Chains A and B, each alone.
Chain A
């Protein structure tokens, strides 16, 4: 039974293994092998593949530029099929059998959470570019993690921009809606805190189950509460359904913002002109004034034939951060690299990087965009908005 299981496992590995080869001519030194499991199949397949492309591009460019510590950089990537348990097995394998020199994080919070236990056990530094859940990094006393580092902004600050703009314009009340799942709950709670800190009143807050399609009763209550701002912690289907039903029930806040889903081109395809004026949160956009961003977007487009999504940019940026720390440490040794990662303050094509003592990201900025004439226009923070104007207030549905 066990041998059969092993055989299947090995077979799956053989099929899934992907050695990202690099052509630069640093043949004399053994390359630095960086291991990672990514979701190449299953529910997270799409973002997982984007992240791999980011890693790939980063390794390729680093090697072409003369490598790190005089060595080429190579990725060893396995497919975790979007399941945490497989991810755990794969990191064990990468560290104990393949004996990779370093590891990088997998896609998604749940898988990062699971594999962090493995990397901690072997004291391996892991920069986890696509883990946005605070609890992975902020741990109860005695259970702290020393070797994991965060790259993206946490769920709690996704709608900071919406609240900031609202507060500056003197808006007083906000209604918060969220899907009843880990990430959306954290983001709704964070939005409520931010609003209270800015002296705004949360007049309505309610969660709905995943897969909910009819929001009328909830929106009837929102309408009765008559908030200045509606902030929704959504994924995608729910964001679309909420907007449609707000129109149907003529719910007219001065600002409407959504967390996830609003940034996809499909959001506008589905809602057309009804998506106008809506604000959305994003970790990254293709037209931000970050160093090296234009080059990244160009080489990504050349290599993969399409615009990079933020998952690719985060993978790319996270990989750059790790390699930079290795360069500064002059070594691959975990504790030395860790010390550098804790000290590092840096800007990549993905934006700022700086972490606190828990490896928790404190510098990366979310951006807030608004759909204007079918385009996502970055309107916050001011230094990234490049003078773009907010279309405010959102006119009532009947006057559009």
Chain B
């Protein structure tokens, strides 16, 4: 029907990479929890939603720049993450996987419903930056470019932290083998709390960044939980660079499927890709940790 030109493909690739960088950051959090604790955190999306609300309230009450609100939303939800891990999640870390799924699923319903009670279901938005930077024939959405830059910076920071620092190395050690890490004198409990907090902070950053792009409401988080699952399975569960690759890939696939096929099928195409990856490389593209 429509003739697809290289310019159109270029524009769509740009949009896909911009979206993918956000998916990667949010999914890295989910992957971190799974890698360290073998817990699938269904409440990851709802935590992202809370991050978006922090940005909204700060913007609408004191007019705080939404990007500066990252400085509030990330520590705040880091603390909430630590608290959740300490009070609830730690009870299911060694339990069968179904228990942890049930717990985080319940947690997710509770967070969403509390948000509906506390914030109401009214749609909110942060009207901060609209329009785009234009470069030749291509348009770069301002809010999405900035979100991408922050996502890249935050993700890089998280990586360096995991790769270079002692604590980061301890986190990776625990995710490789908890028993050996414990024998080496690593305090596994603290590492679990730290990982859950860090993951929640990554989700919060995602929330603060999407707050400027989409309508904010208590149920907005669910799709990010699903997309993050998809990303970490694509990239390889427990493999942190894999989450990055998976995120970018998902962003690209969604947009290219929308362009060449229709928007209606973009999710289907993403899931078909997942099935193919699982058939060809069951451990994900970069290979997950063998369990």
Contacts and interface: CB of A to CB of B under 8 A. Distances in A.
Contact of A237 (B121, B215, B255, B266): B215
Contacts of A218: 258, 263
Contacts of B142: 248
A226 to B, nearest CB: 10
A220 interface: yes
Interface string B78-96: 0000000000000000000
Given A214-B15, A220-B11, A272-B127, A244 B213 contact: yes
Contact of B256 (A209, A217, A236, A250): A217
A214 B139 contact: no
Interface string B111-147: 0000000000111010100111010000101101000
Interface stretch (A30-38, A133-141, A263-271): A263-271
Nearest to A46: B121
A198 interface: no
Interface stretch (B1-9, B28-36, B165-173, B183-191): B1-9
Q: Is the interface of A mostly helix, strand, loop or mixed?
A: helix
A12 interface: no
Nearest to A175: B2
Interface in B1-23: 1-5, 8, 11-12, 15, 19
A231 B278 CA distance: 40
B254 A214 contact: yes
B51 to A, nearest CB: 16
Residue of B12, B255, B258 ringed by the most chain A CB atoms within 10 A: B258
A204 interface: yes
B214 interface: yes
Given A216-B15, A220-B11, A250-B139, A204 B255 contact: no
Contacts of A206: 262-264
A188 to B, nearest CB: 12
A213 B223 contact: yes
B2 A204 contact: yes
Interface size class of A (residues with CB under 8 A): 35 or more
Given A214-B19, A271-B127, A208 B263 contact: yes
A247 B264 CA distance: 22
Contacts of A207: 262-264
A249 interface: yes
A276 interface: no
Interface string B221-254: 0110000000000000000000000000000001
Given A207-B264, A225-B2, A236 B215 contact: yes
Interface string A21-57: 0000000000000000000000000100000000000
A224 B139 contact: no
Nearest to A224: B2
Interface of A: 46, 180, 204, 206-209, 211-218, 220-221, 224-225, 236-237, 240-241, 244-245, 247-250, 266, 269-272, 274, 397
Interface of B: 1-5, 8, 11-12, 15, 19, 121-123, 125, 127, 130-132, 134, 139, 141-142, 144, 210, 213-215, 217, 222-223, 254-259, 262-264, 266-267
28 contacts: A204-B1, A204-B2, A206-B263, A207-B262, A209-B263, A212-B266, A213-B210, A213-B213, A213-B223, A216-B11, A216-B141, A217-B255, A217-B259, A217-B266, A220-B12, A221-B2, A221-B4, A224-B2, A224-B3, A237-B123, A237-B215, A237-B217, A248-B132, A248-B142, A249-B11, A266-B122, A269-B127, A270-B125
